[in-house]
Structure 1
Amino acid sequence: MKTQHLLLPFALLGMPTAAIPAASCWGYSGESAPENWSKLDPAFAACEKGVYQSPINIRNAIKGKLPPLSLSFTAKKNALVHNGHTLQINVADGDKLRLDNQDFTLQQCHFHMPSENLIDGKSYPLEAHFVYRNDQNQLAVVGVMFVKGEANTAIAYLLRNLPRQINVAVPLTAAFSLASLLPKNKSYYRFSGSLTTPPCTEGVRWLILRQPVELSAAQINAFSAALGIRNNRPVHPLHGRMVVTE
């Protein structure tokens, strides 16, 4: 299905869910909801048949010797786009994750409302996913949880630069760094999982930061209105997987 450009209201408040067209055949409600993804396309079979699927409820984490998280943010060419499924920051160059003695390069950062992963059964109003890829085409995702609290300057900047059309990107200035979306404490949980969207590919290395980042109630409401949909896939069983933490 070809995505149509949709002119978004300037204020983006109270935008109805129906105003957001699907960017492809899958979505989050009705016949295209997560429980039906595997029926929409043979390429999505893992969404039902996969064993190690994401998101999960993070609990009973095992203490392990996890190395400090090694992240670098140097990219200067970022852009914000609404692709019909999420608000996404596209990154052109530079940002790196050093993991398992390999370099992973940041591909994009996107958001889910409410959070997809849970921590000890707790849902968060917003979760950011930083998606990385290495030279072997393997994926790693760094997840950041957001909680209601003080206003967040990075979120405020994104809200001031919201795209007005689906799939039409808004360039972000060089002064904006994705590092501003991360907490100071980089301790994390680690587990193996999958993409949380079709084709639900497994073998993804998941790193969820333990310390959440604050944003205000007004920012939560504005971000929700800008997103226009609830875009969280339900949690999946661990099936024997271990969650490791520092």
Structure 2
Amino acid sequence: MKKILLVLISLLACSGAAHADATLWTYTGTEGPANWGKLSPDYVMCDKGQNQSPINIQKALNTPLARLQIRYTAAGKDIVNNGHSIQVGFAAGNTLTLDNTRFELQQVHFHAPSENEIEGKSYPLEAHFVHADKQGHYAVIAVMFRIGKANPGLAKLWRQMPGEAGKPTLLKDSFKPVDLLPKSLAYYRYSGSLTTPPCTEGVRWLVLKNPITASRGQIEAFEKVMKHHNNRPIQPLNARVVVK
């Protein structure tokens, strides 16, 4: 039971969904990213970690990477403004198989502008598909958005996007996570961390190479609700290698 509770607490921290946690860290001011590691002993990795995310992906090594084994069948369950992002929760049934391990999709949330960069390029919006295995290890698929045609998947979510932080509400429109994936699943891979406190390391990051589109209005609608940028600054790569 204790192990299960620790996993649940860590998942909430990953998403920023714990209401009590919302008062402990922010994206601006004295409780912003530069000071996360000082806000709580639980957040020490935000300062001391050597494999932190996000990063600027550059000079990636050409390596034969396995094709992503994604099986997304369950629709979105609920949507919430947790004070840090807009987050969509899912029932069981959406899986990513990676390194012979099955990861279950827990939630999808968004950052504007993007947290990761590709060859120094920042995107106006980034979605994180957060998965966890039975031991509480994380794998995150990141999808970039560029300005272009309105995104039908986002349109379904934004119609019910909560304007203020609060409790999750059930989704009325059927939304499937594949609605926010590009046709090509080519990706970069690196070892990193959660991009929010407690900045836990050992996260498998899979950043898709090809962005999808969102209209300027859709991105502005998200920014208006968030009221500020919700991206952690780029972290040092240190001794890590990025592969593609």
TM-score between both structures, scaled by the size of structure 1: 0.88
1:133 maps to which residue? 132
TM-superposed CA distance for 1:24, in Å, is 2.7
TM-superposed CA distance for 1:72, in Å, is 1.2
Deviation track 1:36-86 (CA, whole Å, cap 9, x = no partner) reads 001100110000000010000000010111011111112235211000011
Q: Alignment RMSD, CA only?
A: 1.5
> What is the distance in 2 between the residues matched to 1:76 and 1:182?
14
TM-superposed CA distance for 1:165, in Å, is 4.0
1:124 maps to which residue? 123
1:88 aligns to 2:87 (yes or no): yes
TM-superposed CA distance for 1:170, in Å, is 2.4
Confirm or deny: 8 A CA contact 1:76 1:93 kept in the other structure: no
Secondary structure at the counterpart of residue 224 of structure 1: helix
> What is the distance in 2 between the residues matched to 1:173 and 1:66?
38
Secondary structure at the counterpart of residue 55 of structure 1: coil
Confirm or deny: 8 A CA contact 2:185 2:208 kept in the other structure: yes
Alignment of 1:53-132 (within 5 A): 53-132=52-131
1:51 maps to which residue? 50
Moved more, 101-110 or 156-165: 156-165
1:234 maps to which residue? 233
Secondary structure at the counterpart of residue 200 of structure 1: coil
1:221 maps to which residue? 220
Query: Residue 191 of structure 1 aligns to which amino acid in structure 2?
Result: Y
1:172 maps to which residue? 171
Confirm or deny: 8 A CA contact 2:75 2:177 kept in the other structure: no
TM-superposed CA distance for 1:226, in Å, is 2.1
Secondary structure at the counterpart of residue 218 of structure 2: helix
Query: Residue 210 of structure 2 aligns to which amino acid in structure 1?
Result: Q
> What is the distance in 1 between the residues matched to 2:136 and 2:21?
27
Deviation track 1:122-152 (CA, whole Å, cap 9, x = no partner) reads 0000000011111121111000000001111
TM-superposed CA distance for 1:92, in Å, is 2.0
Alignment of 1:206-217 (within 5 A): 206-217=205-216
> What is the distance in 1 between the residues matched to 2:99 and 2:183?
22
2:16 maps to which residue? none
- Give the number of equivalent residue pairs: 225
> What is the distance in 2 between the residues matched to 1:126 and 1:88?
14
> What is the distance in 2 between the residues matched to 1:212 and 1:113?
14
Query: Residue 183 of structure 2 aligns to which amino acid in structure 1?
Result: K
Confirm or deny: 8 A CA contact 2:76 2:176 kept in the other structure: no
1:41 maps to which residue? 40
Secondary structure at the counterpart of residue 142 of structure 1: strand
Secondary structure at the counterpart of residue 62 of structure 1: coil
In structure 2, do the counterparts of structure 1 residues 197 and 182 end up closer, same or farther at CA, with 3 Å as the change threshold?
A: same
> What is the distance in 2 between the residues matched to 1:225 and 1:181?
21
2:147 maps to which residue? 148
Give the unaligned 5+ runs of structure 2: 1-19
1:244 aligns to 2:236 (yes or no): no
In structure 2, do the counterparts of structure 1 residues 112 and 159 end up closer, same or farther at CA, with 3 Å as the change threshold?
A: same
1:14 maps to which residue? none
> What is the distance in 1 between the residues matched to 2:33 and 2:226?
18
1:189 maps to which residue? 188
TM-score between both structures, scaled by the size of structure 2: 0.89
Deviation track 1:74-116 (CA, whole Å, cap 9, x = no partner) reads 2235211000011001112111000001100011111001000
TM-superposed CA distance for 1:164, in Å, is 4.3
Give the unaligned 5+ runs of structure 1: 1-20
